Amino acid sequence: MHIEADKQRAQAFARDACAWLAQRNVPPTPENFELAYNFVGGEHPELKRTVESLIANGCKFDSSVMTILHQRYFRAPKGDDMIAELGEKITAELDSVLQILESAGADHSAYGEALSQASGQLGQARLGDTGLKALIDGVITATRVMEQRSKTLEGQLQTSSHEVNELRDRLESVRKESLTDQLTGIPNRKAFDNEFQESVERAIETGEPLSLIMCDIDLFKAFNDTWGHQTGDQVLRLVANCLSENVKGRDTAARYGGEEFVVILPQTELAGAVNLANQIRAKVESKKLVKKSTGDILGIITISCGVTQYDPNESAEEFVHRADECMYTAKRAGRNRVISEAQMAALTKTTVAA
């Protein structure tokens, strides 16, 4: 009877999950169904609270949002091979520590038993000199064995503790390296993707503003072709430093790819993001590119920026695409400028009117 009730309950959850997906025009892929099933079943409280908050804020459950939710609650992102290997080594070392402690517990138990037996023998009857000496010798021997075992245990635990700390430091170092652009030293595309997904999700849940700046170095190919890749690398580092110097706190600046950079601005409206973009643009323009070997000034670097604010009714991909469109509008308008979505809309109206 109990099995039949569970079966009917599961079937009801499955029907409700399919209906929930269909109502929001979400394809019933295995991942989407798993998420919907657990939501309607109510057996995943944290997931239920998050989804209910998204619904209350009018969230559009597109593929991007569904992917973010599934990765957060059902599938931990796969790390690099090195991170996975270090994780396995730490697990093995911790298992070794547990075995050491388990063995030590058995040794302490045996020692306690020996002392208990000696105490019992002393309390039962008078012992002759020979019996008393043998009893004392036995206690001394057991104590020495326990003392030696304790020293061995201490050494083993110190070694294991050192190994675990070393592995932990290596793991943190590898993790940071995997999220850092090796040329410029700022967060890379992988770090951007991770932070961007979390920022979009927070914006949907809280209703707080979220803005994005897309930057592209003007005429970068010309620098590479004229002065070589080493100079091009110098240009990339210069722009990255300007971003790092002007982005603080909760904001994230990253190298998006090639000569493109991006800045994520949580809790920031469009006007504030435009001001920051202009500040970064002016900072880059104020720098002079100098050839290290000769000291010759090679020119001035400029960037074009596109700025947008997140709309809860759009997907994360659409959000990035709008920022990208604004950036290319800035390039077409003459480069070395910032174009926001509001300005692009005004430009579009002017073009249509003309």
Count CA atoms closer than 13 A to 147's CA, side-chain side.
6
> Does residue 259 have an active-site annotation?
yes
Taking the C-alpha atoms of residue 102 and residue 113, their distance in angstroms, rounded to an integer, is 17
Q: How far is CA 337 from the centre of its chain?
A: 32
Phi, psi (deg, nearest 5) at residue 51: -65, -40
CA torsion 160→163→166→167, rounded to 10°?
-110
DSSP per residue over 88-146, as a string? HHHHHHHHHHHHHHHHHHHHHHHHHHHHHHHHHHHHHS---HHHHHHHHHHHHHHHHHH
CA torsion 321→323→327→329, rounded to 10°?
70
Identify the residue whose tokens are 């990339």.
236
From the candidates 259, 285, 318, 325, give the one annotated as an active-site residue.
Answer: 259
Taking the C-alpha atoms of residue 197 and residue 316, their distance in angstroms, rounded to an integer, is 8
For 264, left (φ over 0), alpha (ψ -120 to 50), or beta? beta
Taking the C-alpha atoms of residue 138 and residue 247, their distance in angstroms, rounded to an integer, is 71
Cβ–Cβ < 8 Å for 47, 38: yes
The CA-based angle 218-223-229, given to 5 degrees, is 125
Question: Which residues carry out catalysis?
Answer: 259
